[in-house]
Amino acid sequence: MHCCHFDLDSTLVPTKTTLSRCPACAHELVLLEAGAPSWCPACQWNLDVYDPALAPWRGTRMIGRWGFRRGLEIDRATYEQVLAAPEARPDGTSSGEVWLSVVSVLLALLGVAAVGYLAWLVVASDLPQGVRLALAIPAVLVLLLVKPSFGRVPRYGVITEREAPQLHRLVREVADAAGTPVPDVICADLSLNAGVARLGWRQRSVLVIGIPLWVMLPRPARVSLLAHELGHLANGDPLRVRRTLLARTFGARAVVATGGRNPWRRAVHAADSLAEQGSGPVVLLGMIVHGIVALANVAGATAQLLVDSVAMPDSRRAEYRADLVARRVAGSAAFLRSSETVLLAGRIWQDLWHLAPRIDGEQLEAAAAEARESLAARLPLARQLSRRTTDLWSSHPGEDQRMRLIEALPAVDGALCVDTRRWADIDTELAPRRRAAHNILLGTRDRF
């Protein structure tokens, strides 16, 4: 699923601390916390440096630092490429996509071979049943790792045209302006996100709207959000992901199948437990088994990092291209407003959490707008900080980088304009969804 970028955690919105002066321009530096690398908000000196507290954790600090530097290089190169030809159609098949397609085909052939091997064990092999069961285990594991995954069209949260005719009309107009067919399914969930995907055996296109994010966005920015997501459909991004899905998910499946993160810690704990419960050959065999599982886990994680290092440049380029569609359909100002809201979304949600007992679902939009305006002073630093939260393996460019692309292009008005009356009708249609979001806020309060 291609999603609206949301990387900045609300607890990481920076505050200024007078640590020292910038050596380049003598402006006050910004410091998040003791020991973190400070930077200059005026000239951005020392901004593009690795901060382990913000960058995604990739197993070791050395890998994280290298991935952060490579991510910056890829972002700059992609930014310059898209800026040089913003009206160009999306590129054809890239070398990375070819590589991933080849790997996907090989994995599919491996799955076919595993099926044939299992059929031979069942039908043609004269081996004893116990031996055949033991020999079948590796083939079954292979099938679990390479089985096709078509996803499932959501059963809940679907917004029908009968339920929300004005919303469906708006999505049709955005799809026409973006140059793509209307999504087969529109559904809502309660995430601070949005996305599109092709799901199910029929590969139906599904547009997912996160109601909390929708409520936070100014109305023109909602058009930008829809245009960005439908821009992925117009550019064929979900189909490209589908063609290479086996390669993209094989390593992640292997990691999950072998227990997830921290395999060596689990192996050590298991060895300690075995040592307390038994002795001799049983302990040795258990340690060997857990060691093999840990090695398989590391191999899967390494494979996933390699695959992502090939896949993510294309993914980031796709985000830029979808941003250009949003700019054309909704306008430059609406896109920038949507990006600003995304940067502050976590903090806005936190403010709504505090307000939830004193408001109802109908007041949620107004409360979100008030929170958004009150947090506007934090935007410049939050935007700069987003550059430290992406690396080579991030599917989206940093929010600052995406905003810089739109700002570097001539400002344009959107091709689509929605009047106040229609927005009021759409709000009425989505009132039950807003109430559900409000109930989520109240429900999370009950946990504390």
- For the entire predicted model, the pTM comes to 0.86
The domain segmentation of the chain, as residue ranges, is 53-85+148-448
Residue 18 φ/ψ, nearest 5 degrees: -80, 95
What are the pLDDT digits (tens) for 82-107?
998 888 776 667 888 899 999 999 99
Query: Average of pLDDT values for 430-448?
Result: 79
- pLDDT of 301 reads 84
Query: Average of pLDDT values for 104-118?
Result: 92
**Cα–Cα dist 101/88, whole Å:** 24
What are the pLDDT digits (tens) for 250-286?
888 888 888 877 777 777 777 777 667 666 676 677 7
**Cα–Cα dist 101/80, whole Å:** 27
∠ CA 283-289-294, nearest 5°, is 120
Residue 28, SS3 per DSSP: strand
Among 187, 204, 180, smallest CA distance to 322 is for 180
Cα four-point dihedral sign 169, 175, 176, 178: positive
What is the bridge-based pairing of β-strands 185-189 and 204-210? Answer: parallel
Q: For residues 275 and 154, which has the higher predicted lDDT (pLDDT)? A: 154
Give the CA distances from residue 439 to residues 82, 349, 357, 399, 447, in Å, rounded to whole numbers and listed in that order: 42, 13, 10, 30, 13
Provide the strand spans (E) within 142-241.
185-189, 194-199, 204-210
User: Buried b / exposed e across 37-66, counting CB within 10 Å, b at 16+?
Assistant: bbbbbeeebebbbbbeebbbebeeeebbbe
Partner residues linked to 413 by β-bridges = 331
- How far the first Cα of the chain sits from its last, in Å, is 32
- pLDDT of 19 reads 52
Query: Average of pLDDT values for 393-406?
Result: 92
Six-digit token pair at 173?
Answer: 């107009």
Q: DSSP assignment, residue 92?
A: S
Six-digit token pair at 168?
Answer: 């469906």
- pLDDT of 102 reads 92
- pLDDT of 127 reads 80
What are the pLDDT digits (tens) for 59-80?
778 888 999 999 999 999 999 9
- pLDDT of 408 reads 95
What are the pLDDT digits (tens) for 24-36?
898 888 887 777 8
